[in-house]
Amino acid sequence: MKKIEISYRTIVFTFGFMGLLWFLYQIKGVLFLLFLAIILMSILRPGVVWLENKKVPRVWAILTIYLLLLVTVGSILAVIITPLAVQTGSLLSRLPEIFSRLNVFQLEVSNLGFIGSEMIKLPQQVIRLVSSATANLLYLFTLLVMTYYLLLEREHLTNYLSVLFGDGDGQKKAQAVVGEIERVLGGWARGQLILMLIIAVMSYVGLSLLGVPSAIPLALLAGLLEFITNIGPTLALVPAAIVGFSISPLMGVTVIVLYLLIQQVENNLLVPKIMRQAVGLNPLITITLILSGYKVAGAAGTILAVPLFLTLKILLSELYRVRAAK
């Protein structure tokens, strides 16, 4: 009978590794925010570098990019916020009628007890909404601050990573890895944002031409869900089709055809061109990553699963290549 001996160092390492995993799980919210800041840094850094090449100090270059970003987002919101609010309110008010026509859901308006209980809960719901909005604003502010310091200290990131690649040319290897991660994450994120904008515009134009009500919120939803690779377009189809079928069966089928045509244009024309800089992934792998991300971290996991995989792939590939060369 073979005797199996486990050294003291192995036991310490095992418990230490398990403790590290537990600690990382406990701070997953902070890690999510940090990784989001890294992605945002990868998007904004080319603009900062361009301004630095024009002899603009880095601090002012970052602040200028931030100002341009806020002006752009503010301008877009100023244009769409009013019609978006009106059409979204109209859509929400029509939901009972829509589901009633589809024979999926019946709302008993005469049920005053239900309405009364909801009215009693209204103050709590308002407080919850205000609290959530405040938390999200604080979250966004923290993200911008973290991104600012990442952009400011970008040149020192290679110093932190160089220890992973050993002595000698570790600094150069770390610089190459950081550059590749930035290229892939920046290309992926910028490509996703461009795709989201194009899909939102195409959906709005198509729905408006068909005469579908609430075209703006439906198109905005299609653009936002585009961020969830492969699965998002299918999810966006469902509410649009429901609204279409509430008008007529022909309209419902027409809306489905419209969304399928948009998906074909996206898959065959837009994605190959816009996402050329990002690392391509097999659709099966992408879907597996998204579902795994959702299982681990919910909605945040579905968004960050693909870029996190791309980052780890680059880092681990370089580490393996360095170790194999020794």
pLDDT at 164: 60
The pLDDT confidence band at residue 114, using thresholds 50, 70 and 90, is: very low
Residue 216 has pLDDT above 60, yes or no: yes
The pLDDT confidence band at residue 209, using thresholds 50, 70 and 90, is: very high
Length of the chain: 326
pLDDT at 324: 66
Better-scored residue on pLDDT, 159 or 110: 159
Q: What is the pLDDT of residues 51-84, one digit of tens each?
A: 988 888 888 998 999 999 889 888 887 877 877 7
pLDDT at 100: 67
C-alpha–C-alpha distance, residues 208 and 204, integer Å: 6
Residue 109 has pLDDT above 60, yes or no: no
Residue 1 has pLDDT above 60, yes or no: no
Least confident range from 72-76, 176-180, 223-227: namely 176-180
Mean pLDDT of 243-267: 87
DSSP state, 41?
A: H
pLDDT at 258: 92
pLDDT at 283: 66
pLDDT at 116: 44
Residue 201 has pLDDT above 50, yes or no: yes
Q: What is the pTM of this model?
A: 0.68
Residues 6+ apart with CB under 8 A from 226: 192, 195, 196, 199, 200, 232, 233, 236
pLDDT at 131: 62
Residues 6+ apart with CB under 8 A from 157: 150, 178
